């Protein structure tokens, strides 16, 4: 047995001391072909330091073997040594048989370094130099896909399919193209690809994507059919429940949609999305109890969600639970960036609790942003009327009537107060 073979046997036996001894002997005694094979084995096994030592020794013996340089560059990348990797690759000229691979490796290096523009240029150079090599087009498509430039990615996936290349690197090109279409808003084109695939080749992810896509084009019946089938075959595929509920709600199946959400929560008790969707459905059904339960659970997961805070605040006000609303909103204002909606909600509850001074302050804080909202102004007018603050009341009425000039009741109120104020 050669020293290389002895080393591999020692590694299989987990005898690292013997393996190290045979490795050192192999470097001095084994022929280049045997050493090259050993380097490949060690690289595959993750012994990068030892494989690198062999490749460096072989490169000194065979300086024209650029394939060794690309492998050393790969090892350098694995070790986080990007400059060293690029140094190896820069020595490979366009005339070399390893030039194509060097461009691909360089593109990977620059992408790893956070320089996607340089990576893109390397791949475009590779495509110009090797227009018949599908792997170049695939690499650029994958780069665009990773960068979120889905329309560009789709162009290259399409080119691969036109060349009858349907799989590379264990990636299904058609499905990747479908995802690129879907991600760029070309939902019909994505569905056309999925519908052309044989049913037995559709994974759970594919079924989910199809259900999602039918939802996007408002084909709710097909979306419900696909997502319901997926639910039956794989009830723990929790991503489906929010979309299935959305499709059901779109055709006014609100009760069924809420049941769908509750079923999904049974499999994922930490999904803010499901609690949020459940609260929306409960509010549409007029079920404040369930809505409050859902919103409370959602806020336990994400206390910073202002939409959920505002929704729960509205539930409290509707139920005349003003003390609870004041506590909720004051806490939100203290711990988050205050909004006009929060100030208004707080003012409404303080008004109801006859905390007039505090209510006035918060109405005025909300006013600059909400002065174009007739509903807010209507509420503000009622407050100033209750407080008998005529100048402020008239000012609010004037602003309101700019927005709602045909509101005869408010016009009459304005004229009455204006007349009384003039005669005072």
Q: How confident is the model over 189-237, as pLDDT tens digits? A: 999 999 988 877 789 999 999 999 999 999 999 999 999 999 999 999 9
What would the mean pLDDT of 369-396 be, rounded to a whole number? 94
Cβ neighbors of 268 (< 8 A, separation 6 or more) are 238, 241, 274
Q: How confident is the model at residue 80 (pLDDT cuts 50, 70, 90)?
A: confident
| Residue 261 pLDDT | 98
What would the mean pLDDT of 231-257 be, rounded to a whole number? 97
| Residue 298 pLDDT | 96
What would the mean pLDDT of 245-252 be, rounded to a whole number? 97
What would the mean pLDDT of 176-192 be, rounded to a whole number? 95
Taking a C-beta distance cutoff of 8 angstroms, is the pair 66, 92 a contact? yes
What would the mean pLDDT of 264-283 be, rounded to a whole number? 96
* Residue 383: alpha-carbon gap to chain centroid: 44
Name beta bridge partners: 172: 167
CB burial of 202-224 (b: ≥16 within 10 Å; e: otherwise) equals: beeebbbbbbbbbbeeebbebbb
Tally Cβ neighbours within 10 Å of residue 337.
Answer: 9
Q: What angle do CA 246, 247, 250 make, to 5 degrees?
A: 85
Q: How confident is the model at residue 10 (pLDDT cuts 50, 70, 90)?
A: confident
- Least confident piece of the model among 172-176, 201-205, 267-271: 201-205
Name beta bridge partners: 171: 168
What would the mean pLDDT of 375-389 be, rounded to a whole number? 95
Q: Rounded to the nearest 5°, which phi and psi values hold at 167?
A: -155, 135
Query: C-alpha dihedral over 92, 97, 101, 102, to 10 degrees?
Result: 0
Q: Rounded to the nearest 5°, which phi and psi values hold at 171?
A: -105, 125
| Residue 200 pLDDT | 76
| Residue 197 pLDDT | 85
In this predicted structure, the answer to whether residue 24 has a pLDDT above a threshold of 80 is yes
Cβ neighbors of 60 (< 8 A, separation 6 or more) are none
Query: C-alpha dihedral over 273, 278, 284, 289, to 10 degrees?
Result: -130
Q: Between residues 424 and 124, which one has the greater pLDDT?
A: 124
| Residue 416 pLDDT | 85
Cβ neighbors of 387 (< 8 A, separation 6 or more) are 356, 360
| Residue 421 pLDDT | 65
CB burial of 281-307 (b: ≥16 within 10 Å; e: otherwise) equals: bbbeeebbebbbebbebbbeeeeebee
Name beta bridge partners: 168: 171
In this predicted structure, the answer to whether residue 133 has a pLDDT above a threshold of 80 is yes
What would the mean pLDDT of 323-342 be, rounded to a whole number? 94
3-state class (DSSP) for residue 52: helix
Taking a C-beta distance cutoff of 8 angstroms, is the pair 278, 294 a contact? yes
In this predicted structure, the answer to whether residue 351 has a pLDDT above a threshold of 80 is yes
In this predicted structure, the answer to whether residue 323 has a pLDDT above a threshold of 90 is yes
Maximum alpha-carbon separation in the chain: 117
Cβ neighbors of 280 (< 8 A, separation 6 or more) are none
- Residue by residue, DSSP assigns 350-413 as HHHTT-HHHHHHHHHHHHHHHTT-HHHHHHHHHHHHHHT-HHHHHHHHHHHHHH-TT-HHHHHH
Q: Which two tokens stand for residue 265?
A: 């929560």
For residue 350, which of 316, 323, 385 has the smallest C-alpha distance?
323
In this predicted structure, the answer to whether residue 366 has a pLDDT above a threshold of 90 is yes
Q: Which two tokens stand for residue 11?
A: 């590694």
Give the C-alpha separation, 300 to 422, whole Å: 55
Q: How confident is the model at residue 424 (pLDDT cuts 50, 70, 90)?
A: low
Give the C-alpha separation, 320 to 314, whole Å: 10
| Residue 334 pLDDT | 93
| Residue 169 pLDDT | 82
């Amino acid at each position: 047995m050669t020293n290389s073979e002895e080393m591999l046997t020692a590694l299989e036996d987990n005898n690292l001391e013997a393996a190290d001894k045979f490795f050192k002997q192999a470097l001095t005694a084994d022929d280049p072909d045997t050493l090259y094979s050993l380097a490949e084995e060690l690289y595959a096994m993750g012994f990068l330091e030892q494989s690198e030592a062999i490749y460096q020794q072989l490169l000194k013996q065979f300086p024209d073997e650029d394939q060794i340089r690309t492998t050393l560059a790969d090892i350098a990348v694995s070790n986080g040594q990007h400059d060293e990797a690029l140094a190896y690759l820069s020595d490979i000229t366009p005339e070399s048989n390893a030039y194509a691979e060097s461009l691909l490796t360089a593109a990977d290096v620059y992408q790893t370094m956070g320089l996607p523009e340089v990576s893109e240029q390397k791949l475009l150079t590779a495509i110009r130099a090797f227009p018949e090599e599908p792997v170049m087009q695939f690499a650029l498509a994958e780069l665009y896909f990773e960068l979120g430039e889905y329309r560009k990615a789709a162009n290259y996936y399409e080119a691969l399919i036109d060349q009858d290349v349907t799989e590379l690197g264990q990636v299904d090109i058609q499905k990747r193209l479908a995802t690129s279409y879907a991600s760029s808003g070309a939902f019909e084109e994505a569905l056309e690809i999925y519908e052309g695939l044989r049913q037995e080749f559709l994974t759970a992810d594919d079924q989910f994507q199809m259900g999602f896509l039918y939802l996007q084009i408002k084909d709710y019946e097909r979306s419900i059919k696909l997502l319901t089938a997926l639910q039956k075959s794989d009830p723990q595929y929790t991503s489906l429940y929010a979309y299935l509920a959305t499709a059901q709600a779109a055709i006014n199946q609100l009760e069924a949609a809420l049941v769908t959400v509750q079923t999904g929560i049974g499999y994922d008790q930490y999904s803010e999305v499901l609690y949020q969707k459940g609260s929306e459905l409960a509010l549409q059904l007029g079920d404040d109890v369930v809505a409050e339960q859902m919103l409370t659970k959602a806020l336990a997961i994400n206390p910073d969600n202002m939409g959920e805070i505002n929704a729960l605040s509205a539930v409290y006000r509707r139920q005349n639970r003003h003390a609870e609303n004041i506590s909720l909103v004051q806490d939100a204002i203290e711990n988050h960036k205050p909004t006009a909606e929060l100030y208004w909600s707080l003012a409404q509850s303080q008004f109801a609790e006859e905390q007039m001074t505090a209510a006035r302050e918060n109405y005025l804080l909300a006013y600059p942003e909400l002065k174009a909202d007739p509903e807010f102004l209507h509420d503000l007018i009622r407050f100033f009327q209750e407080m008998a603050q005529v100048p402020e009341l008239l000012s609010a009425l004037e602003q309101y009537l700019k927005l709602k000039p045909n509101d005869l009741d408010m016009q009459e109120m304005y004229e009455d107060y204006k007349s009384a104020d003039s005669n005072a």
